Amino acid sequence: MIKPYIYKVLRLFAFWMVLFTVLRALFVLFNLSYAHEATIGSILQAFVVGLRLDSSFTGYLVGLAVVSQILALLFTGRFWLRVIDYISYLLIAVISIFLLSDINLFSYWGRHIDLEAIGFLKTPDIVMASLKWYETVLFLLVCIIVIAGFIVVYQRLVKSDNKQISKRPFQFKHFAVSLLLVLFTGSLLILPIRGSLGVAPINTGVAYFSAHRFANQTAINPLWNLAYSMKRMDATKIAYHYMPDEEADAIFKQMMEESGQYPRLLKNDRPNVVVILLESFAAHVIESLDGQPVAPHFNELVSQGVLFTDIYAAANRSDKGLVAAMAGYQVLPSYSIIRFPEKTNSLPYLPNKLKQAGYQELSYLYGGDIKFKNMNSFVKQAGFEEVISIDEFPDEFQGKKWGVHDEYVFDRLLDEMLSSQEPYFKFFFTLSSHEPFIVPMERKYKNDYHNSIAYTDQCLGEFMNEVKQRGLWDNTLFVLIADHGVPGPEKLSMDQKDFFHIPMLWTGGALAVKDTTVNKIGSQTDMAKTLLSQLNIQATDMRFSKNILDETSQSFAFFVMPSNGMGLVEEGKYQAYSNNLKKFIVMEGKQTAEDSLKAKAYLQVLYNDSKNR
C-alpha cells in the first residue's frame, strides 16, 4: 500500500508541472505580438526558468494530496484516495480558467493578472462590458476543451487504481511506517516550495533573467505571482521609504522648484474653460506626435492651438487619470486614492479653485455609470454643481456595453455651453474608445481600437465645427488630454515609457497664440497647475503638479505602473523601478547615482502626503 501513495505524489507533481508548461506555451502562442525583439532562445529559456516558480506552486498543490494520503492511511480506506482525485478535478478547472483568463487579459493589457485586475471582480458587469459576446463564448469553449483535456490526462496518468488498494484492518505498525514515508515525501516538497537552499525563499525576481521583457513575462507563473503579491500587499499599508524624510523632501523640492516666470498664452484670464478627457487617446494614434494618422480632426486642431508634445499619463487606468487631471495629484502604485473618499475630500481640486475664482455653471459630463470606481463622490467633492451621466440620456442613445455614445454627450456639452453664464467650466470624460471598442460608425479601420479612436475623433471634429458656428469658440479655452495610454496594435508593455505617452492640446479662440508646440517633458498632473497659472489662480497647494511653462520648472514626468512599479522620464533618460523586486527593471540613458534617487524621493514624499490625508 506504500508504493501507491508515493507514486501518486510523484505522478501528481509531474502532472501539474506539465499543465503549467502547456499553458505557458499557450500564453506564448496567443501573445506573440508582444514578443517584439525577444529571441526564440530567450523564450525557450523562459520555459526552463519558469520551472522554479511552477515547482514552487506545485509544491503547495501536492501538499493537499499529502494531507489526504495521511487521512487515507489513518482510516485505511479508499475514500480519501478518491478525495485526492476530486480535489484535483476542482483544481484543474479553477487553475485552467485562471491561467486562460490571464492569457486573455495579457493580450489586452500587456501584463499578468494582479490585484488591480482582481479588483474588477467586484464589478462583473464592467468586466463583461469590456468583452465582445463572441469573445466570451469562445473563451468558455476553450475553457471546456482545456479542462476536459487535462482531466482525461489526469485520469490516465495520475488517478488512483482503487482496485489495487486493499482494504485492511488498522495496523499500527503499518500505519506508522507508511505515515513516516508519506511525511518524508511531504517534507521533500519544502525544497520546491521555498525554491532555494539559502536563507531567502524564492520570489518573482527569479523570472527576470533576460533583457527581453516578453521572455521574463513568459517565465512568470501568474498564479504564484498573484499569491505572492496578495500575501505581501495590503495596499493601503504598503510603505515607501528609501531614505530619511529630510533627504527625500530636499530632492523633491528641487524637482518641483519654479521661478514664477512664464509666458502668457491667453488673451484674458477669465475665458470659458472646457476640459475634454479623452478615453485611451494614446500618443501613438496622434500624427503630430509621430503616431498613426487615426485622429485627423484632433490633428487639424494642432495648428489652431498649443500642443504639448512630451506629456505622460500618471498611471494606466481611467480612475487614476481622472485624479491626476482634476486634482493635479499623483496616485500611488499600490492603490487608487479615488477608492477612499475620506482621503480625496482634502485634495486641491481644479473645479473648486475655479469656483472660488468666479467661475459658474461647473458641469461634469460622462456617458457611463457615475458610480463606477467611486466617481460620483469624487466629482461631487471636486465642486461640480451639475453631474450629467448615463441616466440623463434615453436608452436609444446607449451602446450595448459601457454607456452613451460620445456623439450624444458632445451634443449635450454643446447645449450646456450655450445655456451657461460666462465664465463657465465644463469637464467631459469621453467613453466610446474604451474596450471592447464598439462604436456606432461604419468601420474605417480593421483594428477595433483604431476604429473607436476614429469615431470619437469624428465626434470631436463635428463638435468643434458646431462650436465655431454657434459663436462659442472665441472666448473659450479647450484642453484636450488623454486619461491613459494603451498597448495598441504596437503591443506596448507597461514598463515602456511610450505606453504612458499621451497628447495634451490647448485650443480655442481664447488663446493668444496658435500653431505652437511645447516640448518640455511633463505629467498629466501638471495640466492643473499649468492651467491655473495661466488664469492667475493660486495653486501652491498642488504639490505634485508643476507649471510646465515656468521658465525654471524641471523637465520630467513621474508615473506609476501596475504590480507596484514606478517610472521617471527626463531629458534623454528613463528609469523604471519595481518595488516588489526592489530593483530597476529599465535604466536608459546616462544615469547618475543622484538620478537613481529622484523617483524614490518623489514616491516617498507622495506616500507621506497620502498617508496623512
Buried b (16+ CB within 10 A) or exposed e, 87-107: ebbebbbebbbebbebbbbbe
- Helix 526-534 vs helix 318-327: angle between axes, to the nearest 10 degrees? 30
Q: How far is CA 418 from CA 385, 395, 408, 594, in A?
A: 17, 24, 15, 52
Nearest Cα to Cα of residue 285 among 462, 492, 569: 492
Does residue 226 contact residue 113 with C-beta atoms inside 8 Å? Answer: yes
434 known ligand binder: yes
Q: Whole-angstrom Cα distance, residue 257 to residue 553?
A: 6
Q: Are strands 565-570 and 573-578 parallel, antiparallel or unpaired?
A: antiparallel
Query: How far apart, in whole angstroms, are the C-alpha atoms of residue 553 and residue 533?
Result: 13
Candidates 210, 318, 363, 523; catalytic one: 318
Determine contact, residues 337/329, Cβ cutoff 8 Å. Answer: yes
Terminal C-alpha separation, the chain: 63
Question: Does 420 participate in catalysis according to the annotation?
Answer: no
Tell me 511's DSSP state: B
Q: Is 457 annotated among the ligand-binding residues?
A: no
Phi-psi region of 313 (alpha: psi -120 to 50; beta: other; left: phi over 0): beta
Buried/exposed code over 420-447 (b: 16+ C-beta within 10 A; e: otherwise): beebbbbbbbbbbbbbbbbbebeeeeeb
Instruction: List the one residue out of 120, 126, 118, 122 whose CA is nearest residue 402.
Output: 126
Please report how many Cα atoms fall inside a 13 Å half-sphere around the Cα of residue 100, on the Cβ side.
Answer: 19
**Residue given cell 491667453 in the structure block:** 266
Q: Is position 112 annotated in a ligand binding site?
A: no
212 marked as binding residue: no
**Side chain identity, residue 82:** R
C-beta of residue 235 within 8 angstroms of C-beta of residue 334? yes
Task: Please tell me the distance from the alpha carbon of residue 525 to that of residue 500, in angstroms, as a whole number.
Answer: 13
**At CA 73, angle to CA 67 and CA 78, rounded to 5?**
95
Q: Where are the alpha helices (DSSP H) in 164-244?
A: 172-187, 190-194, 213-219, 222-232
Q: How far is the C-alpha of 66 from the C-alpha of 362, rounded, in Å?
A: 64
Amino acid, res. 375: M
Residues with a catalytic annotation lie at 318
Output the known binding site: 279, 434, 483-484
- Return binding residues for Mn(2+): 279, 483-484
Q: Which residue ranges make up the annotated binding site for substrate?
A: 434
